[in-house]
Amino acid sequence: MGEQPIDERERIVATAIAIADAIGARDVARLGTLLSADFVHRKAGAGATGAATFLAAIERIPGEILSVNLARIEIDMAGDSALVTGVQHARVRLDGELIEDTRPFVDWLVRESGQWRLRAAVELPGPEGP
């Protein structure tokens, strides 16, 4: 199996960044357009939830979201799907305190009607300690 064209990888990265930006802005309308019709959110030990529950949780993130950025993005492609892994860094102001949250992420994107959409997101725990 040959490598996918670089522009396809760039489209996947652009979709991952658009998802992070929509989360950072709590723009659930935009985020909803980036989700697959059969989107699922998974949390270790907590089962799976669908798009409506996921979007409602984004709206309820406490505090002021200052930024959500992605780093160390890796892409593994197989036809019309891509496993995207990396590190998400969020900065949130909560009750006057700046919170820095850095954690790994795992997203499964699928190509639907020529657009990359998030089919599954796996929420991983952040690092232990302060």
CATH number of the domain to which 32 belongs: 3.10.450.50
Where does the pLDDT of residue 63 fall: very low under 50, low under 70, confident under 90, or very high at 90 and above? Answer: very high
Count of structural domains within the chain: 1
Residue 123, pLDDT score: 85
What torsion do the CA atoms of 20, 86, 38, 45 make, to the nearest 10 degrees?
-110
Alpha carbon 11 to its chain centroid, in Å, reads 15
Q: Where are the alpha helices (DSSP H) in the chain?
A: 6-24, 28-33, 51-59
Residue span of the structural domain in which 88 resides:
6-123
108 within 8 A of 41, measured Cβ to Cβ: no
Give domain status of residue 1, yes or no. no
Residue 130, pLDDT score: 41
> pTM here?
0.89
In three-state secondary structure terms, 54 is helix
Give domain status of residue 88, yes or no. yes
Where does the pLDDT of residue 125 fall: very low under 50, low under 70, confident under 90, or very high at 90 and above? Answer: confident
Give domain status of residue 45, yes or no. yes
Which residues, other chains included, contact 52 with Cβ-Cβ below 8 Å and sequence gap of 6+?
none
Give domain status of residue 130, yes or no. no
Residue 74, pLDDT score: 97
